[in-house]
C-alpha cells in the first residue's frame, strides 16, 4: 500500500512546531501527496516558490513575494494561476508577511491550502522537507526482536521457537535495551540509514513462551527500552538438524553474509542454536566483532596475514 499524507495531517503535525495559521483554501485539507509521486520529483517535496519545477509544498519568502510584486498585473495573475494549476499540497508564507489579496482569492477559489508562519523560510524548508521525507519514506516490517546492544542496533531473527525472545530477555538483564519485539518497523530515512521503531500496539512489550507478555519498562525501568535505533547488524539464529561442520575458512571468519532490507545490504551473522551455547555472550561478541570490523579491524584477516608471513619466513 502506497504511503501518503494529507494537507490537513501535515498542518496538524507541524502546527505547533511552526506556529502555522490557515489563511485560505481550508476545503483543500484532503489533498494528498503519495510516496510514488516523489520518486521522480524535481527538485524536492518542499522548497521555495518554483514556477518551472514546482515543489509539493511551495514556500513564499520575502524574495518570492517581492518578485511577484515586480510583475505587471497580467503576468502576475498568469503566474499565480500557473502555480495554482500545479495543485501544490500547500503554499506557505514565511515570517508572517502580509498575504497578497489576489493570492488569497486564488487559493480560496481553487481550494489550495494557504498557510502562514512566523518562522523564517529556511526553517520552514528544513522542518517540512525532513518531515515529508520521513513520512513518505519506504517502510518494511520484519519478524524478529530489535535491540540496542553496545549502542548498535541489532535485529535478532530466526524461525519460530529458536529462542529469540528468551535471548532478548537475557540481553535486557545484562543491561542492553529493547526497541521492538515480533514486528519492528524499519524506515529508510536516508540512502544508507534504516531507522527501526516499534508499533504503538507493541510498545515496551516482550512475549516469552511460558511467561506470556512482559512489560519491559515496568519490570526493568525506563533505561531498558528505547524508542528507535538505526539497524546496523542482523543476528540470525538457526536450529541445525545435526552438528554443523564448518569449512576451514568459516572457522576463521564465521558464518557472515548480507541481508537485503529495502535498498540496503545489512551485515548478518548466523549463530547455530545448540545445547550448552550461551547465546547472549555470543550475540554480545558478534556485536563487538561487527564494531571492530566497521573500524577496519578484522581479527580473521589479521590472523591470515600473520599466517602468510609465518609461512614466507619459513620458506626463506
SS3 category, 77: helix
Catalytic residue at 293?
A: no
Query: Which residues neighbour 281 within 8 Å (Cβ) at sequence distance 6 or greater?
Result: none
- Nearest of 63, 54, 116 to residue 86 by alpha carbon: 54
Classify 224 as helix, strand or coil: helix
Residue 62: closest CA among 124, 132, 130: 124
Which whole-number Å values give the CA distances from 173 to 31, 149, 216, 225, in the listed order?
48, 12, 10, 12
| Whether 231 contacts 153, CB under 8 Å | yes
User: Which residue of the set 181, 182, 195, 204 is catalytic?
Assistant: 182
| Catalytic residue status for 164 | yes
Check residue 100 and report its DSSP letter.
P
Distance CA 257, CA 214 (A): 32
What dihedral do alpha carbons 180, 183, 185, 186 form, nearest 10°? 90
As a whole number of angstroms, the distance between CA 285 and CA 266 comes to 18
Q: Annotated catalytic residue: which of 245, 251, 260, 313?
A: 251
Instruction: Tell me the C-alpha distance between 140 and 146, whole Å.
Output: 13
Q: Which of 143, 239, 277, 288 is catalytic?
A: 143
**Which of 164, 229, 232, 290 is flagged as catalytic?**
164
List, by residue number, the catalytic residues.
143, 164, 182, 251
Amino acid at each position: 500500500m502506497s504511503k501518503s499524507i494529507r494537507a490537513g495531517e501535515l498542518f496538524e503535525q507541524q502546527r505547533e512546531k511552526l506556529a502555522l495559521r490557515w489563511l485560505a483554501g481550508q476545503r483543500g485539507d484532503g489533498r494528498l501527496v503519495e510516496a510514488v509521486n516523489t520518486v521522480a520529483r524535481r527538485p524536492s517535496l518542499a522548497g521555495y516558490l518554483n514556477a518551472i519545477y514546482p515543489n509539493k509544498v511551495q514556500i513564499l519568502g520575502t524574495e518570492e513575494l517581492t518578485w511577484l510584486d515586480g510583475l505587471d498585473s497580467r503576468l502576475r495573475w498568469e503566474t499565480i494561476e500557473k502555480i495554482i494549476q500545479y495543485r501544490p499540497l500547500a503554499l506557505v508564507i514565511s515570517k508572517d508577511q502580509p498575504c497578497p489579496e489576489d493570492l488569497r482569492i486564488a487559493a480560496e477559489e481553487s481550494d489550495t491550502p494557504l498557510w502562514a508562519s512566523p518562522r523564517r523560510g529556511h526553517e520552514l524548508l528544513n522542518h517540512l522537507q525532513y518531515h515529508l521525507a520521513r513520512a513518505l519514506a519506504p517502510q518494511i516490517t520484519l519478524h524478529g526482536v530489535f535491540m540496542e546492544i553496545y549502542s548498535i542496533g541489532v535485529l535478532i531473527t530466526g524461525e519460530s521457537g529458536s529462542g529469540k525472545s528468551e535471548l532478548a530477555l537475557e540481553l535486557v538483564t545484562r543491561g542492553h535495551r529493547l526497541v521492538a519485539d515480533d514486528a519492528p518497523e524499519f524506515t529508510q530515512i536516508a540512502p544508507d540509514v534504516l531507522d527501526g521503531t516499534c508499533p504503538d500496539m507493541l510498545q515496551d512489550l516482550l512475549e516469552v513462551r511460558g511467561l506470556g507478555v512482559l512489560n519491559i519498562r515496568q519490570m526493568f525501568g525506563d533505561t531498558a527500552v528505547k524508542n528507535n535505533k538505526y539497524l546496523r547488524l542482523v543476528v540470525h539464529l538457526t536450529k541445525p538438524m545435526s552438528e554443523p561442520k564448518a569449512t576451514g575458512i568459516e572457522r576463521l571468519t564465521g558464518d557472515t553474509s548480507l541481508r537485503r532490507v529495502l535498498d540496503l545490504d545489512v551485515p548478518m551473522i548466523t549463530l547455530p542454536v545448540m545445547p550448552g551455547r550461551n547465546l547472549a555472550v555470543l550475540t554480545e561478541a558478534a556485536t563487538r566483532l561487527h564494531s571492530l570490523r566497521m573500524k577496519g579491524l578484522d581479527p580473521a584477516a589479521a590472523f591470515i596475514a600473520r599466517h602468510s608471513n609465518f609461512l614466507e619466513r619459513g620458506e626463506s
